Amino acid sequence: MNKDISGKEQFPGTIPRRDFLKYIFGGSLLAWALSVLYPILAYLKPPKQPEVEVNSVKAGKASAMEKDSGTIVKFGNKPVILVHTASGEFKAFSATCTHLDCTVQYRKDMGLIWCACHNGRYDLTGRNVAGPPPKPLIEYRVLIQNDEILISKNT
Amino acid sequence: MKSYFTKFYNWIDGRVDLSDLVEFMGKKYVPVHSHSMWYYFGGVSLFLFIIQVITGILLLLYYKGGPDLAFESIQFIMSKVQFGWLIRSIHSWAANLFILSAMIHMFSVYFEKAYRRPREITWLTGMFMFFLALGFGFSGYLLPWNELAFFATKVGTDIVGVIPLIGKPIMIFLRGGEDVTGATLSRMFGFHIAVFPGIFTVLLGIHLLLVQRQGMSEPFRTIEEPGWEKKTMPFFPNFLLRDLLLWLIVLNIIAILAVFFPWELGKKADAFAPAPAGIKPEWYFLFMFQTLKYIPGKIGFFDGEVLGIMLFSFAGLAWLVIPFWDRKSQRGEKNRLINYIGIFVIIYIIILTIIGWIF
């Protein structure tokens, strides 16, 4: 590389001019590729939407809800399942199945919370009792004030 | 009339020299043997793809994206647009038949070991097209924004999310956020009508070019049979006419299916409704879906679903690179192991699909 016509090395200990130019061009090319790719990759990542922090929601009249039934309540933008058990208790859990994100429902015939997608089952304490779910459902607190059902996060 | 055609031909020929192409077409022969029928499924898949492109473009004229518009626009297509029901049903039926035909094509190539040298690239492009076909099915499924599609997409993207390390970012990329929302619909729409068709067309071009360039693969056994003599048929017009006849039959089958079994639209998706009982994915995902049902929540330290999904991923990968580890077939020897694996895979898929279908 860094040799004269007779094959003798010139300027020993320095980077040959060709190599130097190679690094400059290669480096510029890489920098250029990165400067093109970075905005594209950043664009693909969806921006975080500001979520309204919800701590509690009203879920209607306690007297209006039949015993041994369940319903889905909007909790911010997440679904929560409210169950009025056969024994008269009110229970609330996250309605998002811990298996693969489906929304669960109350099954009267089983007396259980059931997910239609992969036949996952939870008992009325939210424990995953059968099927593929790996974790229990997160429990929410239910308060009845003047016949009004109030669901709030368990802190 | 003839002179006009000749004039036109000469005009083109004088500019781009068609003689090579005409000579190539005239010399192209298709081998004839007891397994020749499998040659047709590639062509049938191609035909179904063409139908998808045409009906897809037609649907685009009326389809509107977005969670408030998508379901209603398909309702509009099905009920108000003249022959809208037909176009949509054909698109749905042809999509399913396309996957079926591509599967038959893939398994026939597999059992004939046609992926062996020099056709590795043809196998790879074919497999990538097959994966894309599944992607087409998955992304297109959400577009009507109905209940089944909503939960299918939730589960499907969540499955990607359980892959360690890279899963979560990919899931967010696919969903356009943490949850399945209108943003997911926009993305799936983009994949379905722009990204996937673009990539598919390039792969298809390479695939077809290689088939032309290398000719049809022939099974080993015909060569071993005593008194064997190579029989062929000219591609043009003999094979092409048979191809076209089969395409016509396929088109008729689709028309019958579309008319007598029109595709349902179902209920509009509601993010705050429980998943409906009896929910199932499309039949070609059913065997994986059914397997996931059987895997318990925890296996040792691992989440069962993670293990199951990793297992399917590795099996798919091994299948993809088969030309590179099936050394025996590469050397032209019989490899029974490959047949046993293939038979096992087919039996597994059929049995679990049936179970998933019934229960």
Distances (CA, A) of B289 to B152, B281, B292: 10, 7, 5
- In total, how many domains does chain B have? 1
**Residue ranges of chain A with pLDDT lower than 50?**
none
Residue B18 lies in a domain: no
pLDDT score of B226: 67
Q: Does B102 score more than 60 pLDDT?
A: yes
| Residue at B171 is within a domain | yes
pTM: 0.87
The token pair that represents B247 in the structure block? 């395409």
Residue A79 with chain B: CB contacts under 8 Å: 271-272
Q: How close is the nearest chain A Cα to the Cα of B305, in Å?
A: 8
d(CA A93, CA A128): 12
Residues of A in contact with B278 (CB under 8 A): 116
Candidate from A62-66, B62-66, B202-206 with smallest mean pLDDT: A62-66
Spans of all domains in chain A: 1-47, 56-153
Q: Does B334 touch chain A (CB under 8 A)?
A: no
CA distance B352 to B357: 8
Q: Which residue of B has its CA nearest to A128?
A: B297
**How far apart, in whole angstroms, are the C-alpha atoms of residue B190 and residue A147?**
48
pLDDT in tens, B208-223: 999 988 988 887 764 5
Query: Does residue B215 belong to any structural domain of this protein?
Result: yes
In this predicted structure, what is the pLDDT of residue B302? Answer: 77
Predicted local confidence at residue B242, as pLDDT: 93
Helix axis angle, B167-175 to B147-161, nearest 10°: 150
Residue B75's CATH number:
1.20.810.10
Q: Does domain A56-153 have CATH number 1.20.1250.20?
A: no
Do residue B297 and residue A134 have CB atoms under 8 angstroms apart?
Answer: yes
Position B127 in a domain: yes
Confidence band for B143, pLDDT divided at 50, 70 and 90: very high
**Cβ–Cβ gap A116/B172 under 8 Å:** no
CA B348 to chain centre: 19
Mean pLDDT of chain B: 90
What pLDDT score was predicted for residue B228? 66
What pLDDT is stored for residue A59 in this prediction? Answer: 84
Confidence of residue B162 (pLDDT cuts 50, 70, 90): confident
Residues of A with CB under 8 A from a CB of B: 44-46, 49, 72-74, 77, 79, 81, 95, 97, 99-105, 115-119, 128, 131-135
**Position B347 in a domain:** no
Domain with B112, as residue range(s), is 27-279
Q: Taking every pair of C-alpha atoms in chain A, what is the biggest distance, in angstroms?
A: 103
Kindly state the average pLDDT of the residues B140-148. 94
